Amino acid sequence: MKQGDLVVRNSYGGDVLFRVEAVRTDYALLKGTDYRLLADAPIPDLSVVRDPESTSAVREVRIKVNDSISRMKTERERQVVKTEDYIRHAMQQNQPFFEVPGKVLHLDGDGNYLKKSMQLYNTMHVPSHGLHVHESQMADTLYRLLPQIKPDIVVITGHDGVLKTRSASDLFSLSSYKNSQHFVNAVHVAREYEKNRDNLIVVAGACQSHFEALLQSGSNFASSPGRILIHALDPVYIAIKASYTSIKDPINLADVIHGTISGIDGVGGIETMGRFRVGLPKPRITAANPVLKV
């Protein structure tokens, strides 16, 4: 067994696929390939996976991911048709319009997950700026970047988890979590920058994060109500939903939570207005104004 190998834990029934980050004398450090999970396990408990697509864990996740992405694309197609009908009715003609989706600033404690996230933003044509930042540095990074990027939506995610050494009574203490305190600190910075939760939507947390503390600190959406593993793309799905929900409409809580891969035990939130705008007329790119962007 070596760094980079794909493995599953036998004692957990092979429920999650991991990539080996490092091998020690008698155990290995692991990182989930689909779930935002860091773990360690005794080497004898691990089995190397040669064909990940053959495992039930991977197949089930792929189905959920494909369903989630398909749902996003279907909703986007419906929105375009709805907007066209609205413009046609209001103007009594087929007037070309332009769209301004909400801009996303995504901070991720995992470089691989950030890459997957940015690919999905690009696929859905969401304006986005992503940065790989250690969880402990996210508050300082946000303080610096928010005035520069001026996002509509901030995603603060990475790795987290309930510490093995905590007692059952400490579940609601931030000290019982690997990185929840860092996420809370970053949310505080975002709320100092913009206190209105509709003007700046904050999506925060990772696997097993302190859901209540993140909401209380100012998040609109957070993980994890049930202290479960969340999929790497769950925060991205919520951000995309916020980006393409009209500023006139609230984001449908039940709909957005149902659309995530982890479901209501993985993600929750509060009523929030969307950040999507429509404009008229559609600007013309001319030689006199070659760099006009909308």
The residues with which 41 forms a beta bridge, in sequence order, are 28
pLDDT at 241 over 90: yes
At 294 the pLDDT is 36
CB atoms under 10 Å from CB of 193, counted, come to 17
Q: Which residues of 78-103 are buried (b: 16+ CB within 10 A; e: fewer)?
A: ebeeeeeeebeeeeeeeeebeeebbb
Task: Kindly give the interhelix angle for 111-123 and 234-243, rounded to the nearest 10 degrees.
Answer: 30
At 167 the pLDDT is 66
Q: 3-class DSSP state for residue 197?
A: coil
**DSSP annotation of 24:** -
At 91 the pLDDT is 66
At 180 the pLDDT is 96
At 13 the pLDDT is 85
pLDDT digits (tens, 9 = 90+) for 135-144: 999 999 999 9
Say which residue, 89 or 33, is predicted with more confidence: 33
Pairing of strands 18-23, 27-32: antiparallel
Q: Which two tokens stand for residue 246?
A: 């009209």
Q: How confident is the model at residue 285 (pLDDT cuts 50, 70, 90)?
A: low
Walk me through the domains of the chain, giving residue ranges and CATH numbers. 6-54 (2.30.30), 69-279 (3.40.50.280)
Q: How confident is the model at residue 284 (pLDDT cuts 50, 70, 90)?
A: confident
203 and 235 Cβ atoms separated by less than 8 Å: yes
At 292 the pLDDT is 38
pLDDT digits (tens, 9 = 90+) for 260-282: 989 999 999 999 999 999 888 88
At 70 the pLDDT is 85
At 169 the pLDDT is 63
Q: How confident is the model at residue 14 (pLDDT cuts 50, 70, 90)?
A: confident
In this structure, what are the phi and psi dihedrals at residue 239, rounded to the nearest 5 degrees? -60, -40
Mean pLDDT of the chain: 89
Q: Which two tokens stand for residue 23?
A: 């091998």
Q: How large is the average pLDDT for residues 218-241?
A: 95
Distance CA 152, CA 104 (A): 6
pLDDT digits (tens, 9 = 90+) for 75-112: 888 888 887 777 777 666 677 778 899 999 999 999 99
CB atoms under 10 Å from CB of 239, counted, come to 30
Say which residue, 89 or 51, is predicted with more confidence: 51
Pick the closest to residue 174 from 187, 188, 163 (CA basis).
Answer: 163
Say which residue, 72 or 151, is predicted with more confidence: 151
| Weakest mean pLDDT among 176-185, 243-252, 277-286 | 277-286
Global pTM reads 0.85
Q: How many Cα atoms are found within 13 Å in the side-chain-facing hemisphere of 157?
A: 37
What sign has the CA pseudo-torsion 35, 41, 43, 46? negative
Distance CA 102, CA 61 (A): 28
At 290 the pLDDT is 41
Q: How large is the average pLDDT for residues 124-141?
A: 97
